[in-house]
Structure 1
Amino acid sequence: MTDFLSTPGGYRFALNPIQWFATADGWLDPTKGPTPQELLKEIARSGFHAVHAQVPAGWTIGEYKSALQDAGLKPAPGYLSMALPEHGVEIEAALETARTSAAQQAELGLTDMFIATRMNKDAPRVKRPGVGAEFDEAKFAMIFNLVDRASAILNEEGVKAALHPHIGTWIETETETRRLLDNISANQLGFGPDTGHLSWAGADVIGLIKDYRDRTRVMHVKDCRLQVRDAAKAAGKTYQQTVVSGLWAEPGSGELDLAGMLAALGSDFDGWLIAEVDFPTLPPFECAKASAEWLSKLRRPAH
């Protein structure tokens, strides 16, 4: 495929540039940072050739395509964060957003999209992250129904949904992840793991990837410091307190077995690796550059 790295054995990789939106309190502010055009040029200058696709508010698809072309970037699979009634958004409205988002991705030539549920600062699992706090069967049934219907809608638009477990949301733990994947058709719902969030939740990340590798076409590549995670859990720290304690790290500079996690994808993996550093150790551009350099050196495991 023409958008693979030219180096033999390389992976397709892209950046979700959230480090530019990181705030001092361990959260994200999408209004922070450069203009969309400036940001795309900074991403390309850092060494990435593709970016997590997100059409800025008020832009047409044509305008976004032109901005990507001007920056020398290609679109990579984007992210659907599904609002819930607890966020003041009814299910039908969330599903309509899913359809609109999928149609945009399809128009950009993409065939996969991460899907997750939304979180906010007051969410129970933001206050008590990584432990599956306040699990409730009725709530899980509602989440299951939403994921089932949303992934079906994405399929109708020609885009495969990739379930994305995320700390602070109602899809956080390995158990919740497996229940959803095991009870929704593989033809309808794929898997889009996040190495960092699953590790924060204490999941067997390598085991999950191996078990669902046939459903995995996209993955968020994060690194983290497990000692920070463990100390934060022991102290009962919140999501934000854990983040500002130094949880996240640029790929290859933390404590995760990223090599093992990537190897679990198999030698025939031809999907996308999307780098994310939610709270960078380095300034945003240097963080992106370090991430691109690390990803560019990856090689597929031997058969």
Structure 2
Amino acid sequence: MLTKNERKTNKSSILFKIKKISRLFALSFVFIFVGINSLTLPATAAPSGNNSVLVSLVSPSSKPTLLNPTFDPKKVDLGITPTGWSNSDDLTIDLNPPIPYEQILSEMALSGFKGSQMSPKFPKKIKDLKKELKLRDLKISEPWVGTLFTEGKEDETLKEFDKQVAFMKEMKGKNIVVAELGGAVHQKKCVDPLVNRPRFTDAQWADLFKGLNKLGSLAKENGMQLVYHPHIGTGVEDFADIDRLMQGTDAENVKLLLDTGHLYYADVDPLAVTKKYANRIKHVHLKNIRQQILDESKKTGRSFLDSIRAGIFTVPGDADGAIDFQPILQELAKAKYEGWLMVEAEQDPNKANPLTYALMARNYLRQVTDL
């Protein structure tokens, strides 16, 4: 039998061990909690479905209301363009050293998106591109074709179009995004894209209609879908241009790409365009605008690329953005829209961390669409 002193010593020893275990447990809990919140996943990690841990890293600006009705998850995919990481119009809008394509694709997947627009940075060889995409469970949503029908360059346009159709067949996609670049000024330095954009003659409009109808027919023959992208600094920019384009082209073969940011930039209400052409909209770029930067650009005549550097564009879900996406998305859902909803924010990664904004947009779209 233990003596009184031995029992006291034994009791103290047990209490010491309990306190020690408690401290270790507390430290372990802190370590695990901090570790989860500062976790950097492998560059090739591709989440399956919603990832609440990643989404919680970026808080939404406000709680949006779920669409009613919302989109059919089997018929609508969410993607993001690479322009938040590296700009396709000006490759100098990048980090130094430049962000590698592996990081771009990995962060797209990490954010929960399923598709990307093609980029000059991505592998040129089909085999290599497919390998990188498969690794991250990503698809290519679209290529870009700059048409030149208003400059009489039909042969050059058809050659590039055929090339992109063949590419999208390899990628098992169907959308071919086109925009008429005859006389375009959006890539020119020190040129106000709103004041100096081209104005087509009646003859040029006729050439454009004829050319687009031909491309639309060729696309359909190849199981593809032609979607036209109204773009700042080009001859199809404002509402009157869009109306004329829609009236002058074959509704069955020439569809419309809704780019909310380019429309707002051109003083066009994207909701009004959505309501009017909901049944003809077959591809969507969800791009937000910072009103203060837009006002400055208009006042100073800032070029399109300089406006990007200044931060004119941002993503849906950013509190600094001017566009209300809720009613736009609701109109699309009511029209039973099918296809890609592509987040697009041409930003300078030196000023706007691409992953942060990708997560911000994905979080917002999850809450408003339940996708």
Task: Give the TM-score of the pair, scaled to structure 1.
Answer: 0.83
Q: 1:148 to 1:54 in 2, by over 3 A?
A: farther
Supply the AA of the counterpart residue of 1:246.
Answer: G
Correspondence for 1:28? 90
Residue from 152, 156, 172 that aligns with 1:109: 172
Instruction: Give the AA of the match of 2:338.
Output: D
1:191 matched to which residue of 2? 256
Work out whether 1:59 is the aligned partner of 2:125: yes
Structure 1: distance between partners of 2:295 and 2:99: 34
Q: CA deviation at 1:221?
A: 0.2
Pair 1:278-2:352 in alignment? no
Q: What is the aligned partner in structure 2 of residue 75 from structure 1?
A: 140
1:121–1:20: structure 2 CA closer, same or farther, 3 Å change rule?
same
- Aligned pairs for 1:1-303 (under 5 A) are 11-22=76-87, 28-29=90-91, 33-53=98-118, 56=122, 58-60=124-126, 62-76=127-141, 78-84=142-148, 90-118=153-181, 119=184, 127-130=191-194, 133-137=197-201, 138-253=203-318, 254-267=321-334, 268-280=336-348, 282-299=352-369
Task: Please say if residues 130 and 202 of structure 1, whose CA atoms lie closer than 8 Å, have aligned partners that are also in contact.
Answer: no
Instruction: Give per-residue Cα distances to partners, 1:249-290, cap 9 Å, x unaligned.
Output: 222220112112212213322221101110155212222222
Displacement of 1:106 after TM fit?
2.7
Question: Which protein has the larger Cα radius of gyration, Structure 1 or Structure 2?
Answer: 2
Percent of matched pairs sharing the same residue: 22
How far apart are 1:144 and its partner, in Å?
3.0
SS at match of 2:279: helix
Amino acid at match of 2:270: V
Distance 2:92 2:225 in 1: 26
Deviation at 1:216, TM superposition (A): 1.5
User: How far did 1:201 drift?
Assistant: 0.6
Taking structure 2 as the reference length, what is the TM-score of the superposition? 0.69
Report deviation, 1:59. Answer: 0.7
Q: Is the 8 A contact 1:13 1:274 kept in 2?
A: yes
Alpha-carbon distance between aligned partners in 2 of 1:234 and 1:276, rounded to the nearest angstrom: 25
Mean CA deviation greater in 91-100 or 277-286: 277-286
Q: SS in structure 2 opposite 1:279?
A: coil
User: Structure 1 121/225 Cα, relative in aligned 2: closer, same or farther at 3 Å?
Assistant: closer
List gaps (5 residues or longer) in structure 2.
1-47, 51-65
Q: CA deviation at 1:72?
A: 2.1
In 2, the alpha carbon distance for the partners of 1:150 and 1:289 equals: 36
**Which amino acid is the alignment partner of residue 125 of structure 2?**
W
1:105 maps to a residue whose letter is: M
